[in-house]
Amino acid sequence: MSFASLAMYVSPPPVREATRQFWEGLGERLRASGLDAPSALDEDVPYNEAWFRSDLLFGQTCGYPYVQHLRGKVQLVATPAYQLPGCDGPLKCSFVVVRVGASIASIEDLRGARAAINEPGSNSGYNLFRAFVAPHAIDGRFFSSVIETGGHLASIDAVSSGTADVAAIDCVTYGNIARFDPERVAGIRILAKTAKGPGLPFITAASTPARDLMILRRALAETIADPATAHICDTLSLGGISLLGDTDYEALAALDRQAAGQGYPEIA
């Protein structure tokens, strides 16, 4: 039996449940096409371990770890197009957020502030954020301190509680929370948007045959377009897919190099 994991967008609870239901529909379509697709998602294997599984039939990764570690080890299936503020087809930005009531009107007002990041391997919480700050850094520094929270939800909470002054939140995550857990973002506001880059791609193992990859892409598009799953896709804000390639994701590696070239190789 092959392996499937969709662990990147699994909160709030309505999104988690819709993700399970989406896979049920997609998995059924894949099995009808002759693939050995599991009936349920694996929710036990950590997301960043799932990417490296040799039996991975279907998963989702972040674009930054893709360009850093996964090229040649997985195949790109498709990039989802989410219908939320900050998204533009398969592209998306991060929202730079601060506390409601904070007297911060521009990025210059953040100089010497306390930043929260989810983790350094994140595109939305780190790579795009670093590219946003890099032109303003002096001798490799901009913030007074940086805390690593482990996730976007924790970064939101850190800013709203006053533990941190600023964070960069994936616009899809922000949109999902604004829809289904609005109290969580009630204490923060969007100060700015980062540059956009390709979003979180669906992937399969490098060993997946070309025929199976074609089946995955067709079944994915058909599941999203199926009126029977429209309510599920609405909950996920999933409007379609784009077939992006390695050269499209190279833009994220370019942001990494650009920040380093500006003397800001890490958020500090």
What confidence score (pLDDT) does residue 177 get? 98
What confidence score (pLDDT) does residue 57 get? 98
What confidence score (pLDDT) does residue 56 get? 97
What confidence score (pLDDT) does residue 180 get? 98
CA distance 60 to 51: 8
What residue spans of the chain are helical by DSSP H?
13-32, 47-50, 63-65, 128-133, 152-161, 171-180, 210-225, 230-236, 246-261
Q: Which residues touch 80 (CB under 8 Å, ≥6 apart)?
A: 90, 199, 200, 202, 238, 240, 241
Task: Supply the DSSP symbol for 71.
Answer: B
Domains of the chain: 3-83+198-253 (3.40.190.180), 91-196 (3.40.190.10)
What confidence score (pLDDT) does residue 94 get? 98
Would you give per-residue pLDDT tens digits along the chain (268 residues)? 799 999 999 999 999 999 999 999 999 999 999 999 999 999 999 989 999 999 999 999 999 999 999 999 999 999 999 999 999 999 999 999 999 999 999 999 999 999 999 999 999 999 999 999 999 999 999 999 999 999 999 999 999 999 999 999 999 999 999 999 999 999 999 999 999 999 999 999 999 999 999 999 999 999 999 999 999 999 999 999 999 999 999 999 999 999 999 999 999 9
pTM of the model: 0.96
SS3 state of residue 87: strand
Strand order in the sheet with 87-88: 87-88, 91-92, 197-198
Assess contact for 117 and 148: CB atoms under 8 A. Answer: yes
What confidence score (pLDDT) does residue 204 get? 98
Q: Tell me how far CA of residue 63 lies from CA of 20, 126, 170, 253, in angstroms.
A: 22, 12, 12, 9
Concatenate the DSSP letters of all residues of 117-150 into one string: ES-TT-IIIIIHHHHHHGGG-BTTB--SEEEE-S
What confidence score (pLDDT) does residue 1 get? 74
